[in-house]
Amino acid sequence: MLWSCTRLPRLERAALQRLAWWAQQWSSQVSYCSATGSDEALLWIEIGASQRLLGEAHSLLAQIAAGLAQLQYRGELAAAPTPQAARLLTRLSDHRIVTTLPALQQQLTALPLRLLALPADTLLLLHRTGLRRIGELLALPPAAVAQRFGPQTTRYLQQLTGAVAEPLPSVPLPAHFHSECEFDTAVEDATALLFPLQRMLHELQGYLRARDCAVQEFRLAFRHHRQAGSELRLRISRPCRDAAQLLAVTRERLAAFALDAPASALRLTATRFVAPAVLQSDFFARETQQAQELQQLIDRLQARLGAESIQRLQLRADYRPERAWRSLAVQDADGQAQASMDAVTAPRPCWLLPAPQPIDPPAGPLANAERIESGWWDGHDAARDYYLARSADGARQWVFQNLRSGQWFLHGLWS
């Protein structure tokens, strides 16, 4: 068993409890303790049922440290085979990761006794006895230690070295998530709430990862001074558990939201969670999800803009440029299987004018000559010589001369 311990200065109990939920993204076995009479709080995370490699423990600790920084907390991290050893190592300035019991034993030997989490009077007594190093205390027979320094000292040493297991109560994940923040001075501008919200949403992200689920809606409740509270409900179009995305959505809503009155406290609550199926990193699941999402989007666009305004382009087999393509309402295009068509090989411009526009004969040099003759059978016959021309302002134009009338037209732009 390998334990990671984080020692956090001055952290209130509610915040520590939320941190214990958040930490369950790494392990279901998380405990905390706010030591009485001390201003430090402890958070233990069981990070390996079996011995982990040193490198793994390093990267895990780095992840936890980065997560803490996102939450704007500061802490001292260490990892060791027993919870008490992990706690002790947080007090060192380096060599804070030990992965095996023999290595732990060896490291403890030379460390000073004052690092032990024993009552001050016990430490004083040990000092007076002439003991200075943890190794010296561990070398004494347990029965003698119990007799002179109390049985609790022996038990502590046994838990420290792993001779006796220390059962830690693991914090259960609540069915609902909530996080609260009180302000010293009431907040008037809703956008100023983004700073505490950033922390809250990262806590929520940890909780969602721990439960392996996502949210589609959550609630912000504002407390006001001498006035009933108010609320803002946020719904997002798809299940999400990414703090940055949730923050972006929240930021947008807050920008358009005016608080009824200055807020003295803010509470974030999420009570409905969505199965993580749609979040599978599996490529096909993602494709299916995207297809569904696209369909919903097109529905929304069509509902507001009209069914015909969302179009797809298709090729048509026709030599005449204005008939070599068509546009279709998206559902008609997506509903039919399109025969693959050979692309036109002669170069074509990106922009086509809605209709050829009469122009004066071009003055500059012409390039890319192409003759297009067709359509005599359906009355829309065309006999044209197309060229690339350059306009005075630098635009590259697709122009043609009608071979029957000699008239010049602008038909497209090479963009």
Q: Which residues bind another protein (CB under 8 A)?
A: 70, 191-192, 194-195, 198, 237-238, 244-245, 247-249, 251-252, 287, 289-291, 293-294, 297-298, 300-301, 304-305, 309-315, 321, 324-327, 330, 333-334, 338, 343-344, 347-354, 391, 393-397, 412-415
Q: Which is nearer to another protein, 29 or 198 (CB)?
A: 198
What's the closest the beta carbon of residue 374 comes to another protein, in angstroms? Answer: 15
Alpha-carbon distance values, 355 to 336, 358, 395 (Å): 28, 10, 18
Q: Which is nearer to another protein, 32 or 387 (CB)?
A: 387
What's the closest the beta carbon of residue 179 comes to another protein, in angstroms? Answer: 17
Tokens 């980065």 sit at which residue?
66
Cβ atoms of 193 and 223 closer than 8 Å: no
Q: Which is nearer to another protein, 97 or 240 (CB)?
A: 240
Closest CA to 32 of 24, 12, 41, 40: 41
Q: Which is nearer to another protein, 208 or 330 (CB)?
A: 330
What's the closest the beta carbon of residue 393 comes to another protein, in angstroms? Answer: 6
What's the closest the beta carbon of residue 27 comes to another protein, in angstroms? Answer: 25
177-187 and 263-270 as β-strands: parallel, antiparallel, unpaired?
antiparallel
Separation CA 193–CA 188 (nearest Å): 9
Q: Which is nearer to another protein, 75 or 321 (CB)?
A: 321
Calculate the CA dihedral of residues 112, 115, 118, 122 and round it to 10 degrees.
30
Q: Which is nearer to another protein, 293 or 381 (CB)?
A: 293
Residues ≥6 apart with Cβ < 8 Å to 224? 186, 230, 260, 261, 262, 263, 264
What's the closest the beta carbon of residue 300 comes to another protein, in angstroms? Answer: 6
For 54-110, the DSSP string reads: HHHHHHHHHHHHHHHHHTT---EEEEESSHHHHHHHTTSSS--B--SHHHHHHHHHH
Cβ atoms of 326 and 341 closer than 8 Å: no
What's the closest the beta carbon of residue 302 comes to another protein, in angstroms? Answer: 10
Q: Which is nearer to another protein, 144 or 341 (CB)?
A: 341
What's the closest the beta carbon of residue 76 comes to another protein, in angstroms? Answer: 22
